[in-house]
A and B are shown apart, each in its own frame.
Chain A
Amino acid sequence: MNPPAADPLSAGLLERLPLLARDALTSGLPEPWRWVSNSLLAILAIIVVFSSLFALLTLAERKVLARVQNRPGPNRAGLPLTRFRLGGLGQPLADGIKMLTKEDIVPRGADPVLHFLAPVVLLALSLLTFAVLPYGRLLVPVELEAGVLYFFAAGAATELALFMAGWASRNKYSLLAAMRALAQLISYELPLLLAVVPVVLLAGSLSTSGIVAAQAGWDLGFLPRWFVLTPWGFASFLIFLTAALAESNRSPFDLPEAESELIAGHLTEYSGFKYALFFMAEYLGMTALAGLGVTLFLGGWREPLPFLEFVPSYAWFGLKLLALLFVFIWIRATFPRLRIDQLTRLAWKFLVPLALLNLGTAALWALTAGWGPALQPLRWLGATALVAGPFVLLGRGLTAGLRPRTYRFA
């Protein structure tokens, strides 16, 4: 991990702890090997941290969904070989062993190479996106000038992996689901990117650490200057969140694997560890998108209040990430699944126009940055009206004549 522009020595001991631990391991090595082992350690740290987060996330999701539905959730599997249950904390381990020992079935008509390659490609690509997220003041694995673009480039190829899985399975449900997934991912890529463009515009940087740096400082002494706390940033954040849910195939956009229509979609012909890889890639993709959302809109690793600076920055990043993931689970527990026509209509008729208008609002915000304190209320009011007005009008227009369906039982 390359230390960014901030002076590492001015940071506190807790802040520097990961770097100190790394240096303790690699300081004895000669120069090229030190660089190599530092990079390998960074990769290892990302894989270990986010794989364990994935394991705990599956458990947390089941527990939270269960709480919402007023049932206990998985609570039997405890620590192995002991009598401690810890409310089902051993469930991910049990699931992992089950997945590893299950039979790996490849259909006779399937394309064996692509059938094998699809989960591998998907997982590799979703791991790649973690490289550019700034996890802390001193923890940026790769400092890229075009970091945001890299993130989306690495994420763009996941569509390809889904297609490979659907096509190689030689199953009509898989293929239909893959086509559907492609339509969905392409539709929502556009609002996702359009929600990110205003941030790049206002931060004046495509690098993820540059965007975090642009959110430094405090308004009125205690309000953080996070982008989510501006009118255009709030709108962008909501569009980003919706599109991120759709991009990671999460409910209410989990049509590609709508079990009532398509069995399990592109996962139908997968079993055992390959299935687990798909599952892992999906959760890692969701975590990476949530991490990008934290970086772009929620101030990255910055503390929410000035006097909380003594808490190390990576703890703030982790807390914000977990909060956003909890919102994702909460949404899954709350909303019913959309139909495919509703899904595409939401993207093309609602999110894309709103994101384009929001880009204009952000440009206006950037142009009026020099206004004095007397004109600031006008700036805020104008931008809020530009964000809220189209939202209300477009929403009213699209839902005119629609009302909740009434069911009549014969």
Chain B
Amino acid sequence: MIALAAIALCTLAAAAVALALRDLIHSALLLIASWVGIAAFYLWAGAEFVAFAQVLIYVGAISMVVLFAVLLTRPPTAPVSPARSGRAVPGFLAGGAVLGLLAGAVLSSPLPAGTDATPAFGVRELGLKLLVPHAGALLATGALLTVALLGAVVLAAGRGKEDAP
């Protein structure tokens, strides 16, 4: 339990500091640190596969999207202008809405209560679960991501010929 508290504290502290900092690159790096914290939580919970996938996808790939987006849209050293309180209200509203949605989903989903023994759940069972009962959802997600990727390629290719060789 102490380990869980330490992980939660580090994750939340990294996220909070990331929100407070004015330097976008530092914020992005701290956000990545908080993602690592979430992976540590999965590892603590015994979900090895999910933890490694979290690191591979979030720390390896999504972090790159964030950093590229920051670097390609503004001068790398310019700090963000100080926060205005006008932006805080919609920010809190949106965050609160997401929190409410997630809390509602978590609270309304049935959890098997009273069983202390966690079932042994290895990579093989996870793979079978994903590919047999949830194959449709997996395929739909894959198709959606492929379409998004193709859309991004089309958008990038149709930009113009200013940097063509």
- Which residues of chain A have a CB within 8 Å of any CB of chain B? 114, 144-146, 149-150, 152-154, 156-157, 159-160, 163-164, 167, 170, 175, 179, 182, 186, 189, 206, 341
Contacts and interface: CB of A to CB of B under 8 A. Distances in A.
Contact of A182 (B55, B68, B77): B68
Secondary structure dominating the interface of A: helix
Given A145-B49, A153-B55, A179 B71 contact: yes
A163 B67 contact: yes
B99 interface: no
Given A157-B60, A160-B32, A163-B67, A146 B123 contact: yes
21 contacts: A114-B29, A144-B48, A145-B49, A145-B122, A149-B52, A152-B52, A152-B56, A153-B52, A153-B56, A156-B55, A159-B60, A160-B29, A160-B63, A163-B67, A164-B29, A170-B77, A175-B76, A179-B68, A182-B68, A186-B64, A189-B60
A146 B123 CA distance: 7
A156 B59 contact: yes
A157 B55 contact: yes
Please list the 4 inter-chain residue pairs (A to B) with the smallest Cβ-Cβ separation, ordered nearest first. Answer: A156-B60, A153-B55, A153-B52, A149-B52
Contacts of A167: 25, 71, 76
B17 interface: no
Interface residues of B, number: 23
A159 B29 CA distance: 12
Contacts of B64: 159, 163, 182, 186
B61 interface: yes
A338 to B, nearest CB: 15
Nearest to B65: A186
Contacts of A182: 64, 67-68
A128 to B, nearest CB: 11
Contacts of B71: 167, 175, 179
A145 B165 CA distance: 48
A175 B71 CA distance: 10
A163 B68 CA distance: 10
Interface string B10-54: 000000000000000100010010000000000000001101110
A157 B59 contact: yes
Interface string B86-124: 000000000000000000000000000000000000110
